Structure 1
């Protein structure tokens, strides 16, 4: 999801879709259920899938991963970053570590500024603020379809309302390359925006992505190409895309994914893998940059646990993978609604260990690649520090609410938002609480540290949201915040 994850109580589209018409890859609606193995075998091999509106896509030229692979040992996971540091992405880089070892979190904080950005009663985790590589501008996307560019001290440079405001706005985080920001909306369209002026450089249409209804995925960028997931209905499904960043033209796609995928793809150029998950509880992995399909892994056991049938019974809800999957040390780290957190071998998808939290795992984990520690949150209201190599628990901390957004690791501190409306700062070594800041709504974006400031966003506050008999009413819009040292 995104930095996009979706709450299991959200009434999300992927919980209400029923098949209308024939399946894209297997037999028509009403046929007998088939196994995951049969589904994947009948889905065809990875490649340029002939979806509607994409017949005249341009020729694919595989990206050059050499420079990225060389930089892959950087401790902060911020790859690819060329010499002029002109690329910035969700979770800090292609491997999606969420790790900022050069940043120090203040011992106490106060709100320096805030402004409203989220007004939609959709419980997906909210977009994370994204500073430009030079730190002079912070891009903040709202679920009302507006993209804001502000200075670190909170002055608006510009504000642009886009077509995504007709649906559920933005929940993904922009990818920044040179002077352009790329972001997908819940209207199923992808936008390229000039960072200096806010002008639209190009915009795809939903038919170019095969009738996509939403993009909650935050794009990854490698050598002129963007990688992202789109969500589809009738049947509930998804597609992985490669898109030319200069033109917005699709150059490759694979539609084997079931269950409206929310995560952002992670790319490990050193290991030669691209990995993501979906609401069917499956982890999907491709070779990179060839994009030949490599393997899949089913969380919750073969076929997933019992749950609400989707796409005409092709899969069940119950083992959803909502969080983005970071890669580290030749492995992928995966949280599932089956209550477990997995380490999978990137080479073949085999399970190396799993950790049972006893409740839904949907947060985006952070990885401290210097110490070999992974931090993950759960719906059991805890944050866990685990040895990445073994899965052994180092500590756990109760933060009084579900954790569905992104965890951030810094030099000494773990930053994490909670359903109890607070942003928490935890000691990286012990898990002890350093401080917490109370907000209005659930804190579900990632907290982004930059030059002594911390940027994050919350959901709006609604009444009657879970009452089908009453009108849902926005009480207070969710705000974007900047914290500074409390002097």
Structure 2
């Protein structure tokens, strides 16, 4: 294991071992008393209140059309990894043979190693929303002209790392202050935001919400003990309508939903994939990745926690399967029906990036700490190609009609030929490129981490040398 990987593993253990001040309660006690209006129903809490199940049939019907359709297919909905199934696939977008930076400006300045928020264009492409790890949300036009800037309470902590879900004129995003925000896009004002007590004292929401039929789905993090919960929230009011607190180990991934298979999946730092029936939200199954075991070889609290098996990347769902990268160095295909392992690929090092899937060709693209991006056959796990990208990949991989876009810890954004993995070009930046790169109307948007000195040196003060920027690339003609 590399020194930096060990440091990140120690960082995860330290953070999840934090002790909160004040009286201690079990996570179930906290969450069962969280809904002051009596709206929250938890796994293990008696008397689940009424919840209106979202309607999946329009989405299922759209899935049966010819060709790839991002789901939901509504023209006014846009979300992280481009849809509920989290493919990160843009088959109608092409990448220029050469590019230049059209504009950039500083957005990130916190020394947290988590992947940074991915810029999200509105469905009409007229506004780009960029959430920073300082708690600020920026709205700009494609040309870089600023529409507005919004400071939020997330600036008290580690800001934003998730990506907004956009529905019409409203953007929804969770912060590392443990609160969920609804933002009016035309005006840049807060429509509503939840309070900590509404999510049972959550310390962070690092996942990006999934939206379907008036409901948002996200995971929240807790400490003392280190746990998580899956939440359903009414998008109009911000009212939590259901939750399940069975997750251990502070989850980061964003939920993925497959309406055709009737499943919702997410993962967590305990190395477990959790799956619920959808839309009923009855728990279906769990899968434990490998790892070294918990502290001193014992489980953490009364839940499973395998150090070295953390699942930090969002899990796309395709072809009746879930595709999972783990810190145990393996990339898995799991049967959505029962969670059984169908195949796994040994990369030899930590896998924490968000993979992309090309459903037309049946290929999954995955990057990891071994400094490579791989194209794997989604059905068999066979390697089609492998490409060296200079350093670790911890952010999102994007697949377009001709190109794979991937950011690296070596400060470059790479464009790789989708068929061969050959490098088409790379753009050097300031800091580690850990957001996804989003193509829209001939432009590419992405963000980087801030530049720090002494970050891994315990004996020296960590210093922010320069803020990480958001970028827009255009064809270099």
Deviation at 1:51, TM superposition (A): 4.2
- Shift of the 129–14 alpha-carbon distance from structure 1 to 2, 3 Å rule, reads farther
Note if 1:345 corresponds to 2:335.
Answer: yes
In 1, distance between residues paired with 2:318 and 2:401? Answer: 18
2-structure distance, mates of 1:113, 1:237: 40
Q: Shift of the alpha carbon at 1:55?
A: 5.4
Measured in 1, the distance between the counterparts of 2:70 and 2:181 equals: 23
* Structure 2 unpaired stretches of 5+: 1-5, 41-49
Gaps of 5+ in 1: 1-5, 27-47
1:14 to partner: Cα distance: 6.2
SS at match of 1:8: helix
Q: 284, 299, 302: which is aligned to 1:294?
A: 284
Q: Which residue of 2 aligns with 1:62?
A: 53
Distance 2:418 2:77 in 1: 27
Larger RCO (CA within 8 A; separation ≥ 6): 1
Match of 1:166 in 2: 156
Conserved? CA contact 1:128–1:173, under 8 Å? yes
Q: Paired residue for 2:3?
A: none
Aligned partner of residue 8 in structure 2, secondary structure: coil
| SS of alignment partner, residue 170 of structure 1 | coil
Contact 2:404 2:417 in 1 (8 A): yes
User: Is contact 1:212-1:232 (8 Å) kept?
Assistant: yes
Between the aligned partners of 1:307 and 1:455, the Cα distance in structure 2 is 39
In structure 2, distance between residues paired with 1:264 and 1:77: 20
Say whether 1:454 aligns with 2:454.
no
| Residue in structure 1 matched with residue 63 of structure 2 by the alignment | 72
Could you tell which deviates more after superposition, 58-67 or 402-411? 58-67
Between the aligned partners of 1:218 and 1:211, the Cα distance in structure 2 is 19
Report deviation, 1:57: 1.2
Render the CA deviation track for 1:370-398: whole Å, top value 9, x for unaligned.
10000000100000000000000000011
Would you say 1:139 and 2:119 are equivalent positions?
no
Asked whether the 8 Å contact 2:430–2:448 carries over to 1, the reply is: yes
Correspondence for 1:230 among 220, 244, 250: 220
Distance in 2 separating the partners of 1:204 and 1:22: 22
CA distance in 1, matches of 2:336, 2:302: 29
Moved more, 286-295 or 305-314: 305-314
Instruction: Give the Cα separation in 2 of the matches to 1:356 and 1:312.
Output: 29
Give the corresponding residue for 1:94: 84
- Distance in 1, Cα, partners of 2:68 & 2:398: 12
- Do the aligned residues in 2 keep the contact of 1:267 with 1:273 (CA within 8 Å)? yes
1:33 corresponds to: none
1:361 to 328, 351, 373: 351
| Cα distance, 1:181–1:297 mapped onto 2, change above 3 Å | same
Q: Which residue of 2 aligns with 1:481?
A: 471
The question of 1:81 aligning with 2:73 is answered yes
- Residue in 1 aligned with 2:8? 8
The partner residue of 1:110 within 90, 93, 100 is: 100
Structure 1 pair 334/73, CA: closer, same or farther in 2 (3 Å)?
farther
TM-score by length of 1: 0.90
2:293 is the counterpart of 1:306 = yes
Does residue 1:128 correspond to 2:118, yes or no?
Answer: yes
Query: What is the aligned residue count?
Result: 456
Q: Tell me, in whole angstroms, the C-alpha distance in 2 between the residues paired with 1:10 and 1:461.
A: 21
What SS does structure 1 have at the residue aligned with 2:11?
coil
**Is the 8 Å Cα contact of residues 16 and 250 (structure 2) preserved in structure 1?**
no
Counterparts of 2:112 and 2:394, CA distance in 1: 14
Q: Which residue of 1 aligns with 2:46?
A: none
Shift in alpha-carbon separation, 1:457–1:357, aligned structure 2, 3 A: same
Whether the 8 Å contact between 1:12 and 1:122 is mirrored in structure 2 is no
**Structure 1 residues 424 and 52: CA distance shift in structure 2, 3 A:** same
